[in-house]
Structure formats: C-alpha cells, structure tokens
A and B are shown apart, each in its own frame.
Chain A
Amino acid sequence: MTEVNQEVSEITSAIDDVVHQRTRLGILTVLHEGQQVDFGYLQEALGLTGGNLSQHLSVLEKSGLIRIEKGYEGRRARTWISSTRAGSKALRDEVTALKALVARIERPRK
C-alpha cells in the first residue's frame, strides 16, 4: 500500500456509514445549531417529505445519535428533535474526515 493509500485508508475508516449520507448529515448539522429543532423546521430546511424525514430520523435514533420528544404546545402536537453527545461527535468526525479526504486527494503528488 502506498503512502497516499495508507493516509486515505485512515481517513475513510473514520467515516461512519450512518452519517456519511447527505440527508442524515444535514439533519445532524441542523440539530447541532439548535438546542431542539421542530420536525416541521427540519422538513422545510432539508426539503424532505414527512415520511422520508421520519425514516432518516428513525435510523439516527436507533444509532443513538438523536433524541425525539413528542408533546403538545397548547392543542398543537409538536415533535422536537435534539442531537445527543454521540450525534455531535459523529458530525464533528464526519466533517473532519471529509475535509481531510478532500485535502489529501487534492494535494498535488510530490
């Protein structure tokens, strides 16, 4: 294995399959910016249908990356989603890995 391959290997091994996906990475990004985010806001921000978003949220919740709380505000039913510590770490790791990967591949060979 060459030096470049070795480096790329290290970077890609840090990538989590659950997060290495546009929508789920987007969900974690939005959640990271707020304490709690409403289901409707996520749906609008990511341009997803309710069913599609629910599926992704289910995957993230099973992985322990997010928390979902359902409740009422007056008579209005609301679903609030927040990121767990593991979720914040997963986002950080993914962004770091992506940056490292892009930097490594784009770096001109000596």
Chain B
Amino acid sequence: MTDLNLSGRLICVTNQHVDFSEELLESVGSLRHRVRTDRHNFWFPLVLFGLFTLLSAPLYYGWPFHFSTFHCRHVGEKLACSGTGSYHFGYLSPGFAANQLGNWLTLYWVTSLLFGYAATIWFYRHRASTVGLKVRIWPAVVVGLGLLVLVLLMKTNWQSIEPPFLVSGDFWIRGTAILVILSIGIVALAVLERSIVYVVYSLGFVALALLVSLYNVSNLVQWEGLGRFITGSNQAIPNVVLPGIYLLIGGFFFWAVQHDSRVTAHAIESDSE
C-alpha cells in the first residue's frame, strides 16, 4: 500500500485501486468495440460502388476506340498526338475515343459517383437515426467529390496532352482513373470509420486502382491460360471487373462480420440480463 497526500486529497494506492483502474480500462475497451460495431456502415458504399464498377464493364467494350486513327508519342514528359477524326479525350473515359462511347462512359461515372455518394450519405443518416449514433462522413464525401470536380475541370489540349500532376499519360488512357479517385474517397471513409482493417483494405483498393490504370489486366489473364476469352475488343474489361469484384467481396465480407458481431453482442447482453 502506498499512502500519498496529493493536492489536499488522501489517495491510497492499493491493489484494489489498480484492479479498479484495470477494470475501467477494460470497460472503456469493450464499450469502444461495441460502439464501433454499431457505427460501422462501411460495407454499404463498397457494395454500391462495386456494383457500379461491374456495371460499367460493357462500356469498356471496344477499347482502344479507333486507336489507329491517331498516332501518339511521348515527347519528354508529354504525350503528343496527331490524327484525323472527331477526337475525344475524357479523363474518366478511355482516351483516343473517336466515337461517343467515351462521353457515355464519362457521363456514367459522374452520375454513378454523384448517386453513390448521395446514397451513402442517405444510408449513414438512416442508420444514425435507427441506431441512435451519428457518424461524421462529410469529409470523405468532400474529398471524393472534390477530386471528381478537379479532374472534370482539367482542360486538355488534343495535340499535346500534359499529364496532370506529372502523372504519366498512360494513367489516363484506360479510363479507369475514376477508380483511383473513388479509392481515395474510400480511404477517407475508412479513416473516419476508425478501423485499421478498413484502412488496410481501402489502401489495397488504391493499389488495385493504380494497377488497373497503368497496366492491362488482360495480360495476367493471358498468363493464366484464359487468353482465349480475351479479344482485342474486350481486353479492357478485366480492368474494371477485377476492382468491381474486390469491392463487392469486401462489402459482403464486412457486412457478414459486422452482422455476426452485432448478433454476438446482443446475445451477450441478453445473457448478462
């Protein structure tokens, strides 16, 4: 036992005090776990954006669109293109699209992202009202939409495309740069959810989004002996199917884990009553 007179208070530090302190810390830990289980809704945007990503796959059929119409070469850090036809370069859609498919893809992604964020906000609010626990998610929405607006505002010069932010032109031509924008929004959401597992998972999605923006995933499929399914027209489709599946699997997995945790927590509470 240690008796101390501190600031006019007699504080008696005994094993009981230590036990009490340990109990307090344990109760803080278990409460924190319970509240985090109740507040997590991370699975919803994953499933939603996973579906949007998979549904975008048909729009990537035919990439690279009329590629032969244009001739592009790297001039230092820049990508210089020349050719004839109605040239279109959308940052969100595959470059070198001489038809309107690129515009449709851009429209699809902008609409999907706006709808996706709106639905996510609605879902979090609905859950907050039902459970009685409000969570701050607007910073993630601001990050996601802010990046989208920034990319849309960028102007392009069809003869000399300056890679924005010193990113290689290759980054934009597959039309999957939108997934990188989406992934940053998802990382922000994971941080707000205060879950290390979510953060690690979302960083995995960032890596995957970068991969599919810089590399033809169909090459991997060729190596796995599935090359007979890949033709010139559908070679870009694996680049969106893979991240779409990643999001869907993650979403369903986190939903299942969360559902299980809630059931267990309620069962423990019922037993203790």
Q: Do A and B bind each other?
A: yes
Q: Is the CB of B25 within 8 A of A98?
A: yes
Residues of B within 8 A of A (CB): 2, 4, 6-7, 11, 13, 15, 17-18, 21-25, 27-28, 31-32, 34-36, 38-39, 128-129, 131-136, 194
| A22 B24 Cβ-Cβ under 8 A | yes
In the bound complex, how far is the Cα of B135 from the Cα of A73, in angstroms? 17
Interface size, A (range): 20 to 34
- Chain A residues with CB below 8 A from B25, complex form: 95, 98-99, 102
23 CB contacts below 8 A, A to B, read A1-B4, A9-B4, A12-B6, A22-B23, A25-B24, A33-B36, A33-B194, A34-B39, A34-B133, A34-B134, A35-B135, A36-B134, A38-B131, A38-B133, A41-B133, A80-B134, A95-B25, A99-B25, A101-B13, A101-B21, A102-B18, A105-B15, A105-B18
Complex interface bits, A68-110 against B, C-beta within 8 A gives 1, otherwise 0: 0000010000001000000000000001001101100110000
With A8-B4, A12-B4, A13-B7 already in contact, the answer to whether A106 and B133 are too (CB < 8 A) is no
CA–CA, A22 to B28, complex, Å? 9
B133 engages A102 (CB within 8 Å): no
Shortest CB distance A41–B (Å) = 3
- Point out the residues of chain B lying under 8 angstroms from A33, CB to CB: 32, 35-36, 39, 133, 194
Chain A residue contacts of B27, Cβ below 8 A: 22, 25-26
Q: Are the C-beta atoms of B13 and A37 separated by less than 8 Å?
A: no
- Once bound together, how far apart are the Cα atoms of A4 and B31, in whole Å? 31
A45 within 8 A of B: yes
Does A5 have its Cβ within 8 Å of any Cβ on chain B? Answer: yes
Max count, chain A CB within 10 A of own CB: residue among B4, B23, B27 = B4
A36: chain B residues within 8 A (beta carbon): 128, 133-134
Given the known inter-chain contacts A4-B2, A95-B25, A98-B25, please indicate yes or no for A41 contacting B132, CB distance below 8 A.
Answer: yes
Q: Once bound together, how far apart are the Cα atoms of A86 and B4, in whole Å? A: 28
Contact residues in A for B32 (Cβ distance below 8 Å): 29, 32-33
User: In the complex, are the beta carbons of B35 and A105 less than 8 A apart?
Assistant: no
Q: Is A53 an interface residue (CB 8 A)?
A: no
A37 to B136: give the CA distance in the assembly, Å. Answer: 12
Q: Taking the nearest CB of chain A, how far is it from the CB of B116, in angstroms?
A: 22
| Inter-chain contacts of A46 with B (CB < 8 A) | 31
Residues in A whose Cβ lies below 8 Å from that of B35: 29-30, 33-34, 45
Q: Given A30-B31, A45-B35, A95-B28, 13 more contacts at CB 8 Å? A: A5-B2, A8-B4, A8-B11, A12-B4, A12-B6, A25-B28, A26-B31, A36-B128, A38-B133, A41-B38, A41-B131, A73-B129, A105-B13
User: Cβ of B23: which chain A residues have Cβ within 8 Å of it?
Assistant: 22
B102 to chain A, nearest CB (A): 40
